[in-house]
């Protein structure tokens, strides 16, 4: 198995859990407790936080976006469920980017995003991937609870699970160092250039709840287990959250393969890759993270890892 994973050519940290036991835990670059920016893999955690509020009766999947952001076009037609499944028909105006050029606050970023959001009625109910959906979910949670997204995240995951290598990218330098974060790198002109922290930090603020947290493989595995098989959500809540439709079978921050019982999450950006593959019970899991990336490489690696998972687990009956 290690040979097949190493053949992918990814330089980073690898964790393989099979039937609840650690099968492989090694690093081809960095160390096994190195942390990386997990980018869009964070969406699965944000979705579970939203579902917890639904479970507690503080929010409804059928709640309309207009209750929280009435100025967003189409808000009266869009539900929380649409946002989770990315079927809200929302996107940014052509050429627009999330957030403000110079970060002020989460609420300021959200106010800026509202002004740049457009609604495509024909896309309501149809899948269209955009972090904008999850940024708004963060704002909704803040309105419901009176707490910031970071406060909610720490109370939901960091504190109860005692995560040691998990931090927000904007945390104080001492905390970032303690998390053992390595800088993200992108291959350009025959060498790997370090992504400037200021640039990565801006993206982290803009992608609130969708790409602002750094984690080690072991911390990420703890959170995945907590979400998929732990006490965070009931079985009923998980069924509702991960009910997905074609073509993408996306909901709750995961691509959900019902035929194999697999949950898939990927993250890429600012010189980092994160690939997470898990069975629906989190008994079998592969996490691969790296901080050396190349343009055009992500999609190729993602497809190769998907094929590898089917070969390594499905054919052997490990799922």
pLDDT digits (tens, 9 = 90+) for 1-37: 899 899 999 999 999 999 999 999 999 989 999 999 9
Provide the phi-psi class of 78: left if phi over 0, else alpha when psi is between -120 and 50, else beta. beta
**Over residues 109-129, mean pLDDT:** 97
In the predicted structure, residue 313 carries a pLDDT above the cut 80? no
pLDDT at 180 (0 to 100): 97
**Which pTM value belongs to this model?**
0.96
Question: 234 vs 28, which has greater pLDDT?
Answer: 234
**Over residues 69-79, mean pLDDT:** 98
Residue 155 phi/psi, 5-degree rounding, is -70, -30
**Over residues 289-297, mean pLDDT:** 96
The mean predicted confidence, pLDDT, of the chain is 95
pLDDT at 311 (0 to 100): 75
pLDDT at 277 (0 to 100): 96
**Over residues 190-209, mean pLDDT:** 96
In the predicted structure, residue 293 carries a pLDDT above the cut 50? yes
pLDDT at 235 (0 to 100): 97
pLDDT grade for 314, boundaries at 50, 70 and 90: low
pLDDT at 69 (0 to 100): 98
Kindly list the strands in the beta sheet with 35-37, ordered across the sheet, starting from the edge strand earlier in the chain: 35-37, 213-216, 166-168
Q: What percent of the chain has pLDDT over 90?
A: 91
Most confident range, picked from 1-10, 187-196, 306-315 = 187-196
In the predicted structure, residue 319 carries a pLDDT above the cut 70? no
H/E stretch holding 205 reads helix 197-206
What's CA 170's distance to the chain center, in Å?
17
Q: What percent of the chain has pLDDT over 70?
A: 97
pLDDT at 48 (0 to 100): 98
pLDDT at 309 (0 to 100): 84
Calculate ∠ Cα 252-257-217, nearest 5°. 65
Residue 289 and residue 273 in contact, taking contact as beta carbons nearer than 8 Å: yes
**Over residues 226-235, mean pLDDT:** 98
pLDDT grade for 258, boundaries at 50, 70 and 90: confident
pLDDT at 315 (0 to 100): 56
pLDDT at 310 (0 to 100): 80
CA dist 160 and 146 (Å) reads 20
- Concatenated DSSP letters of 55-86: HTTS--TT-BGGGT-TTSTTTTT-BHHHHHHT
103-117, 121-135, 205-219, 299-313: which has the minimum mean pLDDT?
299-313
**Over residues 271-279, mean pLDDT:** 97
Kindly list the strands in the beta sheet with 292-293, ordered across the sheet, starting from the edge strand earlier in the chain: 191-194, 185-188, 292-293
């Amino acid at each position: 198995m290690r040979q097949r994973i190493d053949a992918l050519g990814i330089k980073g940290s690898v964790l393989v859990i099979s039937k609840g036991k650690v099968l492989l835990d090694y690093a081809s670059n960095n160390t096994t407790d190195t942390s990386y920016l997990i980018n869009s893999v964070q969406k699965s955690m944000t979705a579970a936080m939203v579902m917890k509020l639904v479970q507690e009766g503080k929010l409804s999947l059928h709640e309309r976006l207009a209750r929280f952001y009435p100025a967003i076009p189409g808000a009266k037609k869009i539900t929380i469920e649409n946002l989770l499944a990315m079927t809200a028909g929302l996107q940014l105006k052509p050429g627009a980017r999330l957030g403000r050029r110079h970060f002020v606050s989460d609420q300021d970023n959200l106010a800026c995003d509202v002004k740049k959001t457009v609604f495509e009625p024909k896309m309501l109910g149809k899948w269209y991937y955009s972090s904008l959906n999850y940024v708004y979910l963060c704002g909704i949670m803040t309105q419901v609870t009176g707490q910031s997204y970071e406060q909610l995240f720490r109370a939901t995951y960091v504190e109860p699970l005692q995560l040691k290598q998990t931090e927000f990218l904007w945390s104080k330098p001492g905390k970032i160092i303690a998390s053992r974060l390595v800088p993200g790198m992108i291959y350009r002109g025959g060498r790997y250039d370090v992504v400037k922290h200021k640039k990565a930090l801006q993206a982290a603020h803009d992608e609130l709840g969708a790409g602002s947290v750094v984690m080690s493989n072991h911390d990420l595995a703890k959170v995945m287990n907590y979400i998929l098989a732990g006490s965070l959500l009931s079985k009923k809540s998980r069924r509702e959250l991960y009910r997905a439709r074609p073509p993408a079978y996306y909901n709750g921050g995961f691509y959900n393969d019902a035929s194999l019982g697999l949950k898939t999450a990927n993250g890429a950006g600012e010189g980092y890759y994160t690939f997470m593959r898990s069975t629906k019970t989190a008994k079998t899991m592969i996490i691969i993270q790296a901080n050396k990336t190349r343009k055009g490489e992500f999609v190729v690696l993602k497809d190769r890892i998907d094929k590898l998972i089917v070969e390594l687990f499905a054919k052997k009956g490990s799922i």
